[in-house]
Amino acid sequence: MGILKSWRHPAGWAIFRLDDRLFLIFVAAIVGICSGIAAVVLNRSLVAIFEWIGQFRHYWWSFVLPAIGAALSSLFLEKIVKEGAGHGVPEVIYSVSRYGGLLRLRSSFSRLISSCLTIGSGGSAGPEAPVVMSGASIGSNIAKFFSLNDRQRVTLVGCGAAGAISSIFNAPIAGMVFAIEVIIGEWKAINIVPIAIASVAGTEVSRMLQGNRIAFSHRQFNIDLIDIFACLGLAVVAAAASILLTRTLRFMSGISSRFSSPLWLRAAAGGCVVGIIGIFLPIVLGEGYHPVKTMIEGNFSQGLAIVALAALAKIVATSMTLGWGGSGGIFAPCLVIGSLTGLAYHRGLVLLWPSVSWVNEGCFALLGMAGLVSGILQAPLTGIFLIVEITGGYNVILPLIVVSSISTSLCHYVEPASFYLKDLVEHGQLLRPGTDARVLADLSVFELLEKDCITVKQNMLLRDFINIVKNSHRNYFPVEDEKTGYFLGMIHLDDIRPYLFNSGMYDVVFLGQIMNTEVEVVNPDDELSEILRKMDANHLFSMPVVSNNKFAGMISKATLLDQYRKELMVQTCD
């Protein structure tokens, strides 16, 4: 029994007693390996299903295939694992902000299966977000198993996400940067080191199982100054495309939520539309890595009109899949749309200035991808590193940085919150460490309660009350009912000031007559941000906390500042 116990508390092992960071690195490696394996499994099964489905693709009824896939995936999520639809990344970020990264065990496989069904059958979505969710959940549950604290758990959630992204793209730096920039939002050595280790582990797993391939290799590009100027235009086009994608997605989910039919039926309808588009433009089906590859290699032969149409069609197909209840992420569609956009832009340039010798069109496809990824995620570093790593193209880094950063800032101007964070920001749930919202969310009313108030009864005479005032050091006195103990109102010292020197009133006036019954009260379950808003609106410095009709204490800005400062210091410096 002793052994059993101690193996679940490895933090107590002699080697890890030296420093708990060492232990975290050790666990991070395990998490990286697990999420790496999950990513490889998803990738392999996607390829297998897509190939198997491919043999039916030439039948006339093949357009229902995505519908069946989407319906099955929606049914699986809803009825079997009982999870909500969606790609899951907001859920991970939400749990990291509010609950120290606690995630359900079922999340570690549910999205893998459902996205497999959606994408494998031809739905236009990406496998990355589901694999991030799985990796994060694996990290969280490993942390739970070892009963680690919130902080370590959050780091391990980041490790899982990093391992998953690293493994699926064979891109360790992108994994690392994604986890820190998007999931955790805190650049600190204490997070970065374990996440880096997990990225390495995840990448290594993927390399061992699938070989060390660069996803989209390409030839050498010779980039001139004029190309960099052209990039400015591309950045604008890419930003426009990403805004269009975001808007269409939202529009589609808005339409879908207006139908009262069951979710799986809606998913099937969306899948049907995708299937029909797919008959004419097969490029929109699936995660679409293959067309991306041909585009970057410069072997994509269709003309400008078709490419532009394909980009639009992919945007529509993606929003039909994701907006109508299919399961999957936005990463891979972004890459496809991005490369199509880049290609279309290049074709347009050639059309306008045929005499200029532009760099190969593959380069523009690549830059388009970077522009879209950065625009949608509003995470420029993730975009830059991801594209550099998946294309092995360090020689395009300069235009890449230009496109990424301009696209990010343009998108940020139009859509203040990125695709992953939009819902969270709308509900005020994005609580990055060290921010005001986070500190307020962490503190609870109970921690700020001042209990040194003297409560008085409503039938007390003013004379008795003045004796109480003499011995108290607070200005506020809550008034209670004698029998029930219910809170009735407050007396502030100011309320009795007019009668203070009029001893004739002492034995005539009851407190029930003086007290202020229309006081703003706080419920112990209220959010602090809410309470502060109330205080500011009414110009109050303190408010009574009333729980279940009974007075529980006072909450004041003075105590709040004290606790707030302590909290901020503890959260921000290491």
Catalog residues that contact other proteins under the rule CB under 8 A: 1, 4-5, 9, 11-12, 17, 82-84, 86, 91, 94-95, 98-100, 102-104, 106, 144, 147-152, 427, 429, 442-444, 446-449, 467, 470-471, 524-525, 527, 547-550, 552, 563, 566-567, 569-571, 573
CA distance linking residue 321 with residue 440, whole number of Å = 38
How large is the angle between the packed helices 263-280 and 64-75, nearest 10 degrees? Answer: 150
Cβ burial, residue 69 (10 Å; 0-12/13-18/19+): buried
User: How many Cβ atoms are within 10 Å of 506's Cβ, its own excluded?
Assistant: 15
Instruction: Name the minimum Å distance from CB 92 to other proteins.
Output: 10
Smallest gap from residue 175 Cβ to other proteins (A): 24
CA angle 529, 531, 534 (to 5 degrees): 110
Shortest distance (Å) from residue 523 CB to other proteins: 9
Tokens representing residue 158 in the block? 């980041």
3-class secondary structure per residue, 39-59: HHHHHHHHHHHHHHHHCCCCC
Nearer to other proteins, 8 or 219 (CB): 8
HSE-up of 293 (CA within 13 Å, CB side)?
9
Whichever of 16 and 63 has its CB closer to other proteins, that residue is 16
Closest Cα partner for 270 from 288, 290, 242, 249? 249
Choice between 104 and 457, CB closer to other proteins: 104
Cβ distance to other proteins smaller for residue 518 or 525: 525
User: How many other CB atoms sit within 10 Å of the CB of residue 349?
Assistant: 18
* Closer by beta carbon to other proteins, 225 or else 573: 573
3-class DSSP state of 457: strand
User: Min. distance of Cβ 470 from other proteins in angstroms?
Assistant: 8
The smaller minimum CB distance to other proteins, of residues 10 and 498, is found at: 10
Minimal distance, residue 2 CB to other proteins, in Å: 9
Q: At what angle do helices 225-258 and 263-280 cross, to 10 degrees?
A: 140
CB of 554 to other proteins, least distance (A): 14
| Closer Cβ to other proteins, 102 or 304, answer by number | 102
Report how far residue 453's alpha carbon sits from residue 135's, in angstroms, rounded to the nearest whole number.
Answer: 50
For 536, residues 6+ apart whose C-beta sits below 8 A from its C-beta are none
Number of helices (H) and strands (E) in the chain: give both, helices first. 26, 5
Give CA–CA dist 371/368, Å, rounded.
5
Closer to other proteins by CB, 298 or 326: give it: 326
Minimum Å distance from CB 566 to other proteins?
A: 6
* Choice between 110 and 404, CB closer to other proteins: 110
Taking the complex as a whole, how short is the minimal distance between the CB of residue 132 and other proteins, in angstroms? 16
Q: How many residues does the chain have?
A: 574
Q: Smallest Cα–Cα separation from 52: which of 248, 60, 44?
A: 44
CB of 137 to other proteins, least distance (A): 10
Nearer to other proteins, 154 or 366 (CB): 154
CB of 568 vs other proteins, minimal distance in Å? 10
